[in-house]
Amino acid sequence: MIIKRRTAGRLARLLAALAITGVSLLSGLPAAADEPPGTAPAAAAEPPKVDLVLDVSGSMRTADLEGRSRLSVAQQSLDEVVDALPDETQFGIRVLGATYQGTDHNAGCLDTQSLYPVGHTDKVQAKTAVATLRPTGFTPIGLALRGAAQDLGQGQTTRRVVLITDGEDDCAPPDPCDVARELAAQGIHLVIDTLGLSHDDKVRNQLLCIASATGGTYTDVHTEQQLSQKLKQLVGRATVTYQEAPTLAAGTDTCATAPLLAPGVYSDREKFAEHRYYRVPVASGQELRASVSVSLDRAVARDYGVLLQATDPGGQELVRGADAGSGRTDVISTGLRWAATDKAASSAPTPLAAGTAAGGAVCLVVSNSLAAQPGVATDPGLPLELTVDVTAASPAPQDAVLGLGRGWVLLLVLTGAGLLCGLLFGWVARWRISIWREN
Look at 419 and 143; give whichever has higher pLDDT.
143
Range of the domain at 346: 247-394
Number of structural domains (the chain) is 3
Residues contacting 329, CB < 8 A, separation 6+: 296
169 in the same domain as 81: yes
Q: What is the CATH number of the domain that holds 206?
A: 3.40.50.410
**What pLDDT was estimated at residue 326?**
54
Q: What is the CATH number of the domain that holds 313?
A: 2.60.120.380
387 in the same domain as 434: no
CA 295 to chain CA centroid, Å, is 9
Average pLDDT over residues 361-381: 86
The Cα 332–Cα 376 span in angstroms is: 19
- Residue 14: pLDDT band with limits 50, 70, 90: very low
**What pLDDT was estimated at residue 209?**
85
With beta carbons less than 8 A apart as the criterion, state whether 193 and 296 touch: no
Q: Above 90 in pLDDT, residue 156?
A: no
Task: Evaluate whether residue 84 is within a structural domain.
Answer: yes
- Residue 329: pLDDT band with limits 50, 70, 90: low
210 in the same domain as 88: yes
Q: Above 70 in pLDDT, residue 9?
A: no
Q: Above 60 in pLDDT, residue 26?
A: no
199 in the same domain as 110: yes
- The per-residue DSSP string of 239-278 comes to HHT-SSPPEE---BSSSTTPPB--SEEEEEEE-TT-EEEE
**What pLDDT was estimated at residue 240?**
60
**What pLDDT was estimated at residue 246?**
76
220 in the same domain as 271: no
* Whole-number percent of the chain with pLDDT over 70: 76
- Residue-wise pLDDT for 126-136, tens only, equals 999 999 999 99
**What pLDDT was estimated at residue 20?**
41
- pLDDT, the chain, mean: 79
Average pLDDT over residues 277-291: 91
Give the alpha-carbon dihedral of 399, 404, 406, 408, to 10 degrees.
160
Average pLDDT over residues 257-283: 92
**pTM score over 0.95:** no
283 in the same domain as 235: no
Q: Which of 240, 261, 282 is the last residue of a domain?
A: 240
**What pLDDT was estimated at residue 21?**
45
201 in the same domain as 256: no
Q: Which of 186, 217, 240 is the last residue of a domain?
A: 240
Task: Evaluate whether residue 324 is within a structural domain.
Answer: yes
Q: Which of 166, 209, 10, 192 is nearest to 74 (CA)?
A: 166
Look at 22 and 50; give whichever has higher pLDDT.
50
**What pLDDT was estimated at residue 371?**
87
164 in the same domain as 54: yes
Task: Evaluate whether residue 180 is within a structural domain.
Answer: yes
266 in the same domain as 235: no
Q: Above 60 in pLDDT, residue 425?
A: yes
What are the beta bridge partners of residue 220?
196
Task: Evaluate whether residue 30 is within a structural domain.
Answer: no
Look at 408 and 194; give whichever has higher pLDDT.
194
Task: Evaluate whether residue 162 is within a structural domain.
Answer: yes
Task: Evaluate whether residue 193 is within a structural domain.
Answer: yes
**What pLDDT was estimated at residue 42?**
46
Beta strand segments in 131-189, E: 159-165
- Residue-wise pLDDT for 101-142, tens only, equals 999 999 999 999 999 999 999 999 999 999 999 999 999 999
279 in the same domain as 211: no
With beta carbons less than 8 A apart as the criterion, state whether 417 and 18 touch: yes
306 in the same domain as 380: yes
Task: Evaluate whether residue 347 is within a structural domain.
Answer: yes
Q: Which of 240, 274, 293 is the last residue of a domain?
A: 240
Q: Above 90 in pLDDT, residue 260?
A: yes
User: Out of 75-79, 162-166, 377-381, which region has the weakest mean confidence (pLDDT)?
Assistant: 377-381
221 in the same domain as 76: yes
Average pLDDT over residues 325-345: 66
Task: Evaluate whether residue 186 is within a structural domain.
Answer: yes
